[in-house]
Amino acid sequence: MFARGAGSPSCRGACVHGCVHRGAAALPAAGCPGPSGGPAAACGMSRLLGGTLERVCKAVLLLCLLHFLVAVILYFDVYAQHLAFFSRFSARGPARALHPAASSSTNFSRPNATAPSSGLPEAPSARPGPTAPVLPPCPDSPPGLVGRLLIEFTSPMPLERVQRENPGVLLGGRYTPPDCTPAQTVAVIIPFRHREHHLRYWLHYLHPILRRQRLRYGVYVINQHGEDTFNRAKLLNVGFLEALKEDATYDCFIFSDVDLVPMDDRNLYRCGDQPRHFAIAMDKFGFRLPYAGYFGGVSGLSKAQFLRINGFPNEYWGWGGEDDDIFNRISLTGMKISRPDIRIGRYRMIKHDRDKHNEPNPQRSVKHRASRELVKKQFT
């Protein structure tokens, strides 16, 4: 409002010739008497009033500018809200055209109430639900393995302790690693009868081992009812079929006696290109393989390998003979047995008396020869 270097209007009204700018020494110009005269007091008063008026005018100007800025901000805010409001209407238009029934008088406050279908495909949701994260493959050599383990069977082993120590294992003995995707789905099959004490130790040791090996697995205890002569191989066949009924994705099958516990968790319960024999060095055999064709205790076959040998033999009632028969089936079909290092494939057996109705089969040698000839005819 005021030009810089000019005097204030009030001062010019009192002194005809004006006063020098306040930024200078405020000397009186011509026509402004000195401090001894009466008109000088009137000129000073005029200068004081002029300065006050100038400050008031500046304050009013600042308030006007502030009001203008606030008005501009509010204007753009209201304009943006109007744009968002009309854009919602334009986005809803096509959905209403596709689904006219959605605007009918359906009462959605009732439980399970749904709008009548128009028979047309629904428009995709603007906010899709969260997708499950893609987990990386589990490593071939799991990083959390311990190695050689201390195995003992003297401490009491209630099932409550087993459940408490394995919170991630689901009902039915199922487990899936939470941080990676395993390459195989493994079914562990145990032939069983009257071995509850052994089973508790097996579960106590094997669940932590299998979890550290990053396996997706399920445990199947196949119980033979009654007191007839025990048939281990037939129970293994039943376990193979029952596991696939529950989960058709099983592609690896581990067949384990309930009284054998591995002494090293680097003995990975997986299937490979060839059938796998895990229990190659038991304590009852002095930690040595008893003979070259031994395939008992704990073994593993893929689904394709199991079907290739036509499963296990059903004719062996009582103890012994079925594991040698399985070895012959594998050999005669052109496959070879793979085994871990003897320092890793060590097992402890829970000491026990021979089960009643599981006496050695006196005809196992005869059945073994007959089965060998039959397998030769089938696979050669």
Give the closest residue to 220 by CA, choosing from 208, 201, 203: 203
372 is catalytic: no
Q: Which of 200, 202, 207, 257 does the annotation list as catalytic?
A: 257
352 is catalytic: yes
Please give, one letter per residue, the 3-state secondary structure of the chain: CCCCCCCCHHHHHHCCCCCCCCCCCCCCCCCCCCCCCHHHHHHHHHHHHHHHHHHHHHHHHHHHHHHHHHHHHHHHHHHHHHHHHHHHHHHHHHHHHHCHHHHCCCCCCCCCCCCCCCCCCCCCCCCCCCCCCCCCECCCCCCCCCCECCCCCCCCCCHHHHHHHCCCCECCCEECCCCCECCCEEEEEEEECCCHHHHHHHHHHHHHHHHHCCCEEEEEEEECCCCCCCCHHHHHHHHHHHHHHHCCCCCEEEEECCCEEECECCCCCCCCCCCEECCCEEHHHCCECCCCCCCCCEEEEEHHHHHHCCCCCCCCCCECCHHHHHHHHHHHCCCCCECCCCCCCEEEECCCCCCCCCCECCCHHHHHHHHHHHHHHHHC
349 is catalytic: yes
257 is catalytic: yes
Q: Which of 264, 265, 322, 324 does the annotation list as catalytic?
A: 322
Q: What span, in angstroms and rounded, lies between the C-alpha atoms of 203 and 52?
A: 95
Residue 253's DSSP bridge partners are 187, 301
Q: Which of 127, 140, 354, 373 does the annotation list as catalytic?
A: 354
Q: Which of 54, 161, 174, 349 does the annotation list as catalytic?
A: 349
Q: Which of 193, 202, 317, 323 does the annotation list as catalytic?
A: 323
182: amino acid identity, one letter: P
Q: Compute how many other C-beta atoms are within 10 angstroms of the C-beta atom of residue 317.
A: 21
Q: Which of 198, 259, 264, 317 does the annotation list as catalytic?
A: 259
323 is catalytic: yes
319 is catalytic: yes
Q: Which of 22, 161, 251, 319 does the annotation list as catalytic?
A: 319
Per-residue burial over 228-242, b = 16 or more CB atoms within 10 Å of its CB, e = otherwise: eebbbbbbbbbbbee
Catalytic residues: 257, 259, 319, 322-323, 349, 352, 354
